[in-house]
Amino acid sequence: MLRYPSIRRRWKRVVKYRTLLFMLMPGMAFFIIFHYTPMYGVTLAFKDFRFIDGILGSPWVGLKYFRKAFADPSFYKVLRNTVFISFYKLLFGFPVPILFALLLSELPGTRFKKVVQTVSYLPHFISWVILAGIFITIFSLDGPINGVRRFLGMKQVVFLAGRSYFRSILVVTDIWQSFGWNSVIYFAAISGIDPELHEAAHLDGASRFQRTVRITLPLLSPVIAILLILRMGSILNAGFDQIFNMYNASVYEVADIIDTYVYRKGLVEMQYSLSTAVGLFKSGIALILIVTTNQIVKLLGGEEYTLW
């Protein structure tokens, strides 16, 4: 086998980078076990699944459950809610880590930066089960916000039961929980910028704001473009953990999303084929959005900023 030059060269590269390949194995195993192997269950979307027959023995029904989902009026409601909530999170949440990284990078003092970074990361590692309990307490009638309103003589408000408040609360709490962790890549990109560029601009009389706009942001553009493309792929992930732990019957009309719909249809009502069909539809839309965004960035002249 090794008499072929191409195979010999490849084998030499494997031997040369064996340590890196070995380090890559746990990540590959994770994706194979938890992402690729479960894709076999996608066939449920095209079958009339019955426990007694199993996945292989259940009869094929084609697009029956896709038609059933599209004929369900509540499906369009949850799709609309998902798009709105995800769009609001993208519109208001995507720029925050960038601004945070830019502002913190301009501050003097390495120790202070590390403290602020560590504090901003912490909410990411707290489960939404715990965070939801905290926010439910904060926004309850006996919580601190209504306590201040009571002290000022204002009317008390049940924020988490109000349709006009709930989406805003979702967006704000999600930004607070994730902006520190999402800024890690931007910090790394900023730290990789050649400091001589800033020194030269400073000698030419450029202010900090001008250096940020003319040097830092343009050099961050590739990272921003790639992360935006990846974020578009999760545009229909409105945040199951957050919403499931925070919503209630009063706000179903504005808070019920595709993930909670799939959970309810699949695990509560045991309509496994229907829930799989809806989940597959969501994944298909995500793929289309990634490809479309990637092509748009490429057409705008940023071919080096795209994924492929």
Q: Is residue 159 part of a domain?
A: yes
What is residue 2's predicted lDDT score, i.e. its pLDDT? 47
- Per-residue confidence at 162, pLDDT binned at 50, 70, 90? confident
**CA distances for 245 relative to 26, 27, 235, angstroms:** 31, 29, 20
DSSP code for 34:
I
Is 0.75 topped by the overall pTM? yes
Q: CA–CA separation, 255 vs 238, rounded Å?
A: 10
CATH of the domain at 220: 1.10.3720.10
Model confidence over 190-241: pLDDT tens digits? Answer: 988 888 988 898 888 888 889 988 999 988 988 888 888 888 878 888 889 9
Backbone phi, psi, residue 60, to 5°: -75, 140
Beta bridge partners of 47: 60
- Kindly report, residue by residue over 274-290, the tens digit of the pLDDT: 999 999 999 888 888 88
Phi, psi of 126 (to 5 degrees): -100, 130
Cβ neighbourhood burial of 15 (10 Å; 0-12, 13-18, 19+): exposed
Q: Is residue 1 over pLDDT 50? A: no
The distance from CA 213 to its chain's CA centroid, rounded to whole angstroms, is 27
pLDDT, average across residues 255-272? 92
Query: Is the pLDDT confidence value at 300 over 60?
Result: yes
User: Is residue 28 in a domain?
Assistant: no
Contact 129, 246 (CB under 8 A): no
Residue 188 CA, chain-centre distance (Å), reads: 19
15 in a structural domain: no
Instruction: Give tens-digit pLDDT for 89-147.
Output: 999 999 999 999 999 888 877 788 888 888 998 999 999 999 999 999 999 988 899 99
Q: Please report how many Cα atoms fall inside a 13 Å half-sphere around the Cα of residue 234, on the Cβ side.
A: 11
- Predicted pLDDT at 249: 86
Looking at the domain assignment, is residue 293 inside a domain?
A: yes
Picking from 101, 94, 100, the residue whose alpha carbon sits closest to that of residue 187 is: 101
- The Cα-based distances of 67 to 73, 192, 264, 270 in angstroms read 12, 51, 18, 18
**Structural domains of the chain, count:** 1
Residue 265 lies in a domain: yes
Residue-averaged pLDDT of the chain: 88
What angle do helix axes 110-121 and 163-182 make, rounded to 10 degrees? 140
Is position 238 within any domain? yes
The answer to whether the Cα torsion of 49, 52, 58, 64 is positive or negative is negative
Whether residue 17 is contained in a domain is answered as no
Establish if 226 belongs to a structural domain: yes
Residue 276 CB-density burial (10 A; 0-12 exposed, 13-18 middle, 19+ buried): buried
Which amino acid belongs to residue 149? Answer: R
Question: CA nearest 244: which of 267, 228, 221?
Answer: 267
Alpha carbon distance 247, 191 (integer Å): 40
Structural domain containing residue 50: 41-305
Question: What tokens appear for 213 in the block?
Answer: 């706009």
